[in-house]
Amino acid sequence: MRHTLIASLFLLTAVSQAIAQTEEQRSTLADQQEVAVTIYNENLALVKDQRKLSLKRGASSLAFRDVSARMRPETALMRSTSAPGSVSVLEQNFDFDLLTPQKLLEKYVGRSVSIIRTNPATGVETTEQAQVLSANAGVVLKIGNRIETGIPGRIIYGDVPPNLRDRPTLVMSLDNAGAQQQDLELSYLTGGLAWKADYVVELNTTEDKLDISGWVTLTNTSGATYRNAKLQLVAGDVNQVTPVMQGAVRTMAAPAPAMAKARSEMVEESLFEYHLYTLTRPTTIAENQTKQVSLLSASGVPARKELLLKGNDYYYQSSYGELGQKIKVGVFVEFDNKESAQLGMPLPKGIIRVYKKDKAGNAQFIGEDRVDHTPKNEKVRLKLGDAFDVTADKKQTDFKKLGGTSKYNYVFESAYEVLLKNAKKEAVTVTVQEPMPGDWQVQSESHPHTKNSSNTAVWKVSVPAEGSTKLVYRALVRY
């Protein structure tokens, strides 16, 4: 076994020496046959880059250029698709230190450069040799027996260091046991690619139907361009063990709310416990670019508007009196993600912005809300803001402690008056939702309630135009 190990080490050393003596072969985007990009919600993407190359048999060094600068090199996998198993990767190095004047100067610390000075009076150029002592926050040079700071002229470098690249490059030591012509695929995970869903909704005049358009916003800060890529998006919360580097994501203004119905360019399918969206045509994702792609469009979706006054449970166990004047009433819009409602596609999480046309026919922004991933046949509920013309005054009109000697057997009886006021020129219905603590019951009430859950009483109260309605009720709670 020991002899076998020594022989293997000698073989690896011999191969490494042979590769070192071999001229590096470069692969650029000109060799690319196809590229596929799958982008996840968490600033993570899977890239599959297929290229046709001519490799000599045996050991060689391949510089695979134009990869993502945010590549996670530990996830890189190179394989031959034309002759599986014929190409082996012995070693790989990810060079993301890109060529700039400052980087070149830093790489020459401890080495000699030529300094060319020009006489401003005569225009004559003179050349001196200098040693770069430091390039940190400026440059320090040793010229002859003197030390100088700053750059006294043009610097001439002998060459470019091999680990300094003009583009992000994965350098691989290969062993090709197959044919010279090979179709290779490099797959890897990378940061710097992100997507999000944005939706534009327009309510109709009577606020009982809406038109919706969904857009996918792609942001590429990965340091590479993906030409004519097959684009796929994964919606879902994918667990990651290794943290992904976070890149700056620039935002884009919402598109104008034009509601002309458009065909969806995305095909949706289930993938494990997630949803996969595939663009039906190739698209180019350029470096440092934000672009939008249509996700869905639907018209005439039935909608429901709700005015909601939500209470608290703390005032059912003590005396409080006045509970608030001109309390704001929340405005909500909801619709069903069903085929019968012209929808039915699983909706990725994102922001829904809602518009409504004024009397002149101009679409005006009336609110937005963020929604989570919404499966098919689920309800979408949006809070758009608070009503201007509908308010409430609330007070506790009575409170009694009927029993209890410890915190586990208290009995309280309390009464309430909720005055709902409507300044609009049309009647409205306000939903009053009260969270009731403990074991509770409504003893008397001016309007009938429903028990929506074990701790919630709900009243639907009609309020006339430019008028008011008073809700009065008495509740008994036990702890």
pLDDT digits 0-9 by tens, 46-90: 999 999 999 989 999 999 999 999 999 999 999 999 999 999 999
Look at the alpha carbons of 120, 125, 126, 127 in this order and tell me if their dihedral is positive or negative.
Answer: positive
Tens-digit pLDDT profile for residues 158-204: 888 877 777 889 999 999 998 999 999 999 999 999 999 999 999 99
Grouping H, G, I as helix, E, B as strand and the rest as coil, residue 30 is helix
pLDDT at 257 over 50: no
Structure tokens given for 102:
């400052």
Q: What is the pLDDT of residue 22?
A: 52
Average pLDDT, the chain: 88
pLDDT the model gives residue 105: 87
Residue 104 has a pLDDT of: 85
DSSP strand pairing (379-403 vs 322-336): antiparallel
> What is the arithmetic mean of pLDDT over 215-235?
94
Is the pLDDT score of 282 beyond 80? yes
Both structure tokens of 378:
């689920």
263 pLDDT higher than 70: no
* pLDDT above 80 for 9: no
Cα–Cα distance for residue pair 194/221, rounded to 1 Å: 9
- What the block records as the tokens of 96 is 């993301």
Cβ neighbours for 45, distance < 8 A, ≥ 6 positions apart: 37, 38, 39, 189, 190, 191, 192, 193, 222
Residue 400 amino acid letter? K
Tell me which of 122-126, 213-217, 305-309 is least confident: 122-126
- Quick check: 230 pLDDT over 90? yes
Q: What is the pLDDT of residue 258?
A: 39
pLDDT the model gives residue 260: 36
Kindly report which listed range (67-81, 260-274, 361-375) carries the lowest average pLDDT score. 260-274
Confidence of residue 474 (pLDDT cuts 50, 70, 90): very high
Please give the average per-residue pLDDT across 308-324, as a whole number.
94
Strand pairing class (25-27; 32-40):
unpaired
| Over residues 43-48, mean pLDDT | 94
Who's near 226: CB < 8 A, 6+ residues apart? 35, 37, 47, 220, 284, 285
pLDDT of residue 243: 53
| Band of residue 407 on the pLDDT scale cut at 50, 70, 90 | low
* Helices (H), ranges, 338-384: none
Mean pLDDT for the stretch of residues 344-365: 94
**Spatial separation of the C-alpha atoms in residues 195 and 188, rounded to whole Å:** 18
Q: Does the pLDDT of residue 400 top 60, yes or no?
A: yes
3-state helix, strand, coil in the chain (%, to 5): 10, 55, 35
pLDDT, average across residues 125-151: 90
Token pair 């000599």 is found at 56
The per-residue pLDDT for 268 is 86
Q: Which of 310-324, 331-345, 394-408, 431-445 shows the lowest per-residue confidence on average (mean pLDDT)? A: 394-408
Residue 451 neighbours by CB under 8 Å, 6+ apart: 457, 458
CATH tag, 303-335+382-478: 2.60.40
- 3-state secondary structure (DSSP) of residue 352: strand
pLDDT of residue 95: 82
Strands (DSSP E) found in 168-225: 169-176, 181-190, 193-203, 209-220
Single out the residue of 107, 167, 175, 170 nearest to residue 135, CA to CA: 107
Residues pairing with 269 in the sheet = 276
**What pLDDT is attached to residue 266?**
82
Q: Which two tokens stand for residue 97?
A: 């230190």
Neighbours of 422 (CB within 10 A): 24
Q: Which residue's entry shows tokens 């074990």?
A: 454
Instruction: Say whether 272 sits in a helix, a strand or coil.
Output: coil
Q: Please check whether residue 276 is in contact with residue 270, taking contact to mean a CB–CB distance below 8 angstroms.
A: yes
pLDDT at 165: 79
